[in-house]
């Protein structure tokens, strides 16, 4: 798989996470049971790091070979070996 293909896959994942988070938040607002609403909001909050990582990896894989592109240090091996 090419990095450009991986970038598209990460972008699709990020959009899917975003859509699911919106669904969960809308369901939480519509929910009358406070415990159920809190559970739905917690599920949405749990997806936020996955959405962020998918967005960051989409950008990284799309621009990986661009000269001068600042790479997120979280996704590099420099200084960790």
Each domain of the chain, given as residue ranges in start order, spans: 3-75
- The per-residue pLDDT for 70 is 67
Q: What is the mean pLDDT of each run of 10 residues along the chain (81 residues)?
A: 91 98 97 96 98 93 77 64 52
- The per-residue pLDDT for 35 is 97
The pTM assigned to this predicted structure is 0.81
- The per-residue pLDDT for 69 is 67
Specify burial of residue 27 (Cβ count, 10 A radius: 0-12, 13-18, 19+).
middle
C-alpha span between 57 and 51 (Å, rounded): 10
């Amino acid at each position: 798989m090419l990095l450009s293909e991986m970038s598209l896959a990460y972008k699709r994942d990020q959009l899917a996470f975003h859509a699911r988070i919106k669904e969960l938040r809308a369901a939480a607002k519509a929910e009358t049971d406070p415990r159920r609403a809190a559970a739905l909001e917690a599920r949405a909050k749990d997806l936020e790091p996955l959405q962020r990582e998918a967005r960051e990896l989409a950008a990284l894989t799309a621009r990986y070979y661009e000269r001068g592109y600042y790479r997120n240090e979280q996704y590099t091996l420099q200084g960790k070996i």
